[in-house]
Structure 1
Amino acid sequence: MNDQREPVVVRWPGQGTSEDRVAELLAAYHLRTEAEKGEAVADVEGLPDRYRAEILNPRAAFADDAVLIALSGDTAVGCLVVTAPVHGRSEIKRLWTDPAFRGRGIASGLVGAALEHSAESGVSTVRLSVWKWRTDAIALYERLGFTVADSWEGRDQLLCMERAV
């Protein structure tokens, strides 16, 4: 592989992206997360119902939200969900880049597109939660202007972050 950066195109589902590929990216995200939490499962069938529902029908699971897709050619190589605004805030969830495509600016491109989308939606604050052991993701969020916030999460190892739009 060469060290040239490949252009990243961010699109909404339904504009040439495969829903099956989005489901594959979500499955990889959830399977990896469960393994990192020490709760590894063999396949999607072993995931909690709420995560399996996202994978089986992402369009229904995120019907009120914006699902952003990073494309390399016609192949979806990354995804991110921006929740519908509530009380002037949106939340970034499910940021995932196919490991074969990491280091090409895909995650930062997706977060940037999420911030643009949130601004266009009239949101004043974007927030997210990230597992404390995901230090690369935390560093990315900090580079993009997110700061640690008081936790709104009950799960012990989640770090909450936010930034103004």
Structure 2
Amino acid sequence: MSDQREIAIVRWPGQTPSAEDGLARLLADYHLRTEAEKGEAVADVDGLPDRYRIEVSDPRTAFIDDVVLLALSGDTSVGCLVVTAPTDGQSEIKRLWTDPAFRGQGIASGLLSAALAHATESGATDVRLSVWKWRTGAIALYERLGFTVSESWDERDLLVCMQRAL
């Protein structure tokens, strides 16, 4: 018998009182881990580049035009993803993160499926994303969901750009 709680995917803001705090924690974990993986480790959120520190300190403003999806286990935020409103028929997925203690439960797949459904409902004809080359598990997940490597729109080294038609 499994002791796992059901994971719910909700759109943010406004879903639960603790969602904003949980989102900030997930974004902080995401950015701190990414900086460390890039070889630019920082001790805490205060050491993050401004654009990332703003996302953590004020996600409501940072993602004002976007939809943030949260995966909740009970009232605990255990995963997040941001999907942008379509521009010229294209949405972008960013900030996919699952709390390491909850990985292997299909949370990232659920968030991605919800993001693709939202993008379709919003009128997007395709979705793009970028992922660091060393995140091979994430790349494999994206490929399983129909994303393919595309021409880069970002000049950063080791960043893989991917796209999927809806």
Specify the TM-score bucket, using the shorter chain as the normaliser: over 0.9
| 1:155 alignment counterpart | 156
| 1:8 alignment counterpart | 7
One-letter code aligned to 1:114: A
Q: Does 1:57 align with 2:58?
A: yes
Note the alpha carbon deviations across 1:70-110, whole angstroms, 9 max, x for none: 01011110000001211100000000000000000000000
Contact between 2:5 and 2:74, CA under 8 Å: does it hold in 1? no
Structure 1: state its 5+ residue gaps: none
| 1:121 alignment counterpart | 122
TM-score (norm 1): 0.96
Structure 2: state its 5+ residue gaps: none
Q: By how many angstroms is 1:4 displaced?
A: 6.7
Distance (Å, rounded) in 1 between the aligned partners of 2:129 and 2:69:
15
One-letter code aligned to 1:7: E
SS of the aligned residue for 1:12 comes to strand
Q: By how many angstroms is 1:156 displaced?
A: 1.0
SS of the aligned residue for 2:157 comes to coil
Note the alpha carbon deviations across 1:45-65, whole angstroms, 9 max, x for none: 000000000000001000000
| 2:105 alignment counterpart | 104
**In 2 relative to 1, CA 25–94 (structure 1 residues): closer, same or farther, beyond 3 Å?**
same
Distance (Å, rounded) in 1 between the aligned partners of 2:148 and 2:75:
34
Distance (Å, rounded) in 2 between the aligned partners of 1:105 and 1:5:
12
SS of the aligned residue for 2:93 comes to strand
Distance (Å, rounded) in 2 between the aligned partners of 1:21 and 1:33:
18
| 2:70 alignment counterpart | 69
One-letter code aligned to 1:149: S
One-letter code aligned to 1:11: V
What is the count of residue pairs matched by the alignment?
164
Moved over 3 A (4+): 2-6
TM-score (norm 2): 0.95
Q: By how many angstroms is 1:18 displaced?
A: 2.1
SS of the aligned residue for 2:95 comes to strand
| 1:143 alignment counterpart | 144
Note the alpha carbon deviations across 1:98-141, whole angstroms, 9 max, x for none: 00000000000000000000000000000000000000000000
Identity %: 70
